């Protein structure tokens, strides 16, 4: 006995797209907040606890300013604020766009699934980035 797969019901499509729509709305909302509330004002979003405790810039320092600059379409300013944050925004945007058709094909698919090896590599990149940006020869990476 064979059955033909017909068009997907509208309610099934809506259920499959609920999570991507929620994630997209949250991302757009956060980008809007960063666009309209300038993080270049000292203390406008609080202070980095890592920087307060160590005196070093953490891998995320300058990330809010980078996203703010991206919302103003100032890519050069964003890269000079935090190149790692810009790379993360690009990676998340690509993952989000790729997630939508995967989600339509399989409503249980997740946006990002990384292996433990990839997680260790990402942590190492963050560690190296932190050390390099806080040394004199890597000062060009400082926010």
Segment 76-133, tens digit of pLDDT: 999 999 999 999 999 999 999 999 999 989 888 888 888 999 999 999 999 999 999 9
The secondary structure of the chain in percent helix, strand, coil, rounded to multiples of 5, reads 65, 0, 30
pLDDT digits (tens, 9 = 90+) for 16-69: 889 999 999 999 999 999 999 989 887 788 888 988 999 899 888 899 999 999
Domain borders along the chain are 11-141
Helices 10-36 and 83-105 cross at an angle (nearest 10°) of 170
Quote the pTM value: 0.82
Query: What was the pLDDT predicted at 92?
Result: 93
61 near 51, Cβ under 8 Å? Answer: yes
Query: What percent of the chain has a predicted confidence (pLDDT) above 90?
Result: 57
């Amino acid at each position: 006995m064979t059955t033909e797969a017909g068009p997907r019901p509208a309610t099934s499509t809506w259920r499959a797209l609920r999570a991507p729509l929620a994630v997209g709305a949250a991302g757009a909302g956060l980008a809007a907040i960063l666009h309209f509330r300038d993080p270049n004002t000292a203390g406008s979003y609080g202070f980095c606890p890592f920087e307060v405790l160590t005196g070093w810039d953490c891998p995320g320092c300058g990330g809010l300013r980078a996203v703010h600059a991206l919302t103003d379409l100032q890519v050069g300013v964003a890269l000079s604020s935090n190149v790692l944050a810009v790379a993360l925004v690009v990676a998340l945007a690509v993952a989000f766009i790729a997630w939508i058709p995967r989600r339509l094909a399989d409503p249980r698919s997740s946006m990002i699934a990384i292996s433990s090896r990839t997680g260790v590599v990402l942590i190492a990149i963050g560690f190296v980035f932190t050390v390099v940006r806080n040394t004199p020869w890597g000062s060009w990476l400082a926010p």
